[in-house]
Amino acid sequence: MAADVDGVNGGSAGDQAPITARHPGESVRRWSNGSRVPGWDDAADLSKPPAGVPDAATTPVPADLRAEIEDYMARYPDHRSAAIPALRAAQERHGWCSPEAIDQVAAVMRLTPGYLVAVASFYDMLELQPVGRRSVYVCTNISCSLCGADELYARLEEELGEDPGVNLRHFECLGACDIAPMASVDGVYVGPIEPGEIAELAEQIRTGAAPLPAKQLLDRKSADPGAAPR
């Protein structure tokens, strides 16, 4: 797990030309006194044309990623519709939508990187910053917070500390208010999470084990009394 993350971070910084334009998703860096770190507002070089469609000959794309993106593109009358699935596919391989990942998608889809960054920056599940490989979303919307989701988030944050392999974040309503308070660990919904289970869950997240097997949503029966199987 840790090796993966190092590979991602090292890869994007090491074997690529330095990126001159600031990354769009980046927030302004500040000194501890609040003033902005010099260089935060360096303008993009407007004398150069914006990046065009990457040259397929000089942009290596893994064969499986190319095949997956081309499969998506074939499903729609307009191939641009595949932008979100393609970005997700690239993100799965790179850990985040790194400039390299964006270039690979752009090369296959024949779009500019700018178009794809614009799309990726709109969606919460597409990451424009390096993040941990294991995504943990805690729903802190109304229903869940009425049932103690804020405490759950605080406890999880404390338990997981600064684990670089984990991407812990608040999320909009995840559509599982019946198991509030809940969390989604790499897409697996678990809940209701009792305070006593948080340490166990944190350990499972760290080690990559299945989260709280007894509390997974897919095994849950319907609450409706009329829904009993005949």
Partner 1 sequence: MTGAILFADIDEPGLATLDVYRRRGGYGPRLLKALQMPREALVEELKASGLRGRGGAGFSMGTKASFMPKGQIDKYLVCNADESEPGTFKDRELMQKSPHMLLEGMIIAAYAAGANRSFIYIRGEYAQQAVIVERAIAEAKAAGLIGERILGTDFSLELWLHRGAGAYICGEETGLLDSLEGKRGNPRLKPPFPANQGLYQGPTLINHVETLATIPHIVEMGAQEYAAIGVQNSTGTKLVSISGHVRRPGNYEIELGTPARELIYGLAGGPGEGRTVKLWFPGGSSSPVLTGDDLDVSYDFDSLAKAGTMLGSGAIIVADDTTSVVDVALKTAQFYKHESCGKCTPCREGTNWTVKMLERVKSGEATPMDLDIMASVCENIIGHCLCVLGDAMAMPVGSMIKKFRGEFEAYIEQARAANPWGSGHAPVEALEAQGALA
By CB under 8 A, name the binding residues for partner 1: 75-78, 80-85, 87-88, 118-119, 122-126, 137, 140-143, 145-147, 171-180, 184, 186-189, 217-218, 221-230
CB of 229 to partner 1, least distance (A): 5
Closest approach, Cβ 127 to partner 1, in A, equals 10
Q: Which is nearer to partner 1, 61 or 149 (CB)?
A: 149
- CA dist 193 and 198 (Å) reads 7
Rounded to an integer, what distance in angstroms lies between the CA atom of residue 150 and that of residue 139? 9
- Closer of 51 and 84 to partner 1 (Cβ): 84
Nearer to partner 1, 57 or 218 (CB): 218
Strands (E), 96-198: 134-139, 166-171, 183-185, 188-190
Q: What proportions of the chain, in percent to the nearest 5, are helix, strand and coil?
A: 45, 10, 45
At position 158, the amino acid (one-letter code) is E
> Rounded to an integer, what distance in angstroms lies between the CA atom of residue 205 and that of residue 47?
48
Residue whose CB is less far from partner 1, 104 or 140: 140
Minimum separation from the CB atom of position 123 to partner 1 (A): 4
Task: Return the closest-CA partner of residue 165 out of 119, 134, 123, 197.
Answer: 134
Give the amino acid at 75. Answer: R
Task: Output the smallest distance, CB 143 to partner 1, in A.
Answer: 4
Our CB check for partner 1 shows the closer of 48 and 230 to be: 230
Name which of 50 and 161 has its Cβ closer to partner 1. 50
For the CB of residue 53, give the shortest distance to partner 1 in the complex, in Å: 15
CB of 14 to partner 1, least distance (A): 28
The C-alpha atoms of residue 42 and residue 81 are separated, in whole angstroms, by: 34
Reading the block at residue 136, the tokens are 């943990």
**Backbone phi and psi for residue 128, each to the nearest 5 degrees, phi listed first:** -100, 5
Minimum Å gap between C-beta 7 and partner 1 is: 24
94: amino acid identity, one letter: H
Nearer to partner 1, 37 or 218 (CB): 218
The whole-angstrom separation of Cα 103 and Cα 93 is 13
